[in-house]
Amino acid sequence: MITVRVQTEFFDVGAELTPLEKLGGGAVASFTGIARQDGDVVAIELEHFPGMTEASLRKLAEQATERWNLLGATVIHRIGRIEVGESIVFVATCSDHRAEALAACSYLIDRLKTDAPFWKKEHREDGRADWVEAKASDNARAEDWG
């Protein structure tokens, strides 16, 4: 069971975990990414490539499902303006045992950061706004998965 959504609305982590918990597996792992408090940043704004984004997230979920024999995978990414402290992204996986669920969850968020067409802009207290530069460390983490 693969669920992929790109949305402006908030998501409810508990509600998103419930369907994965009912798939008959023994393990559900999840990751929630939150707009971090960072200096004078008040909000971030997320732009994406409609169509390609959903397809690339689905492809990653399919790859993870095959590699770790998952029973289910969910990827939700918010777009638009997100205030500091709000959730941005949610990844969850279900498998028979914990090792596969945890590894697949980690894989999905690492690869999402380098493969899915999203761009972040940081809005600051004084009204300035700058595009976030891609991090070499994110590329290295994604490449570690092969």
| Residues of this chain that bind another protein (CB under 8 A) | 33, 46-49, 51-52, 55, 77, 88-89, 109, 112-121, 131-134, 138
Calculate the alpha carbon distances from 39 to 17, 32, 55, 124 in Å.
32, 21, 34, 9
Q: Rounded to an integer, what distance in angstroms lies between the CA atom of residue 130 and that of residue 146?
A: 31
**Contact assessment for residue 93 and residue 73, using Cβ atoms and an 8 Å cutoff:** yes
Minimum distance from residue 125 beta carbon to another protein (Å): 21
Q: Rounded to an integer, what distance in angstroms lies between the CA atom of residue 115 and that of residue 9?
A: 23
Minimum distance from residue 22 beta carbon to another protein (Å): 27
Nearest to another protein of 49, 145 (CB atom): 49
Nearest to another protein of 96, 138 (CB atom): 138
Q: Rounded to an integer, what distance in angstroms lies between the CA atom of residue 101 and that of residue 27?
A: 6
Minimum distance from residue 138 beta carbon to another protein (Å): 8
Minimum distance from residue 12 beta carbon to another protein (Å): 20
Nearest to another protein of 126, 133 (CB atom): 133
**Please, is 13 exposed, middle or buried when counting C-beta atoms within 10 Å of its C-beta (0-12, 13-18, 19+)?**
middle
Nearest to another protein of 44, 71 (CB atom): 44
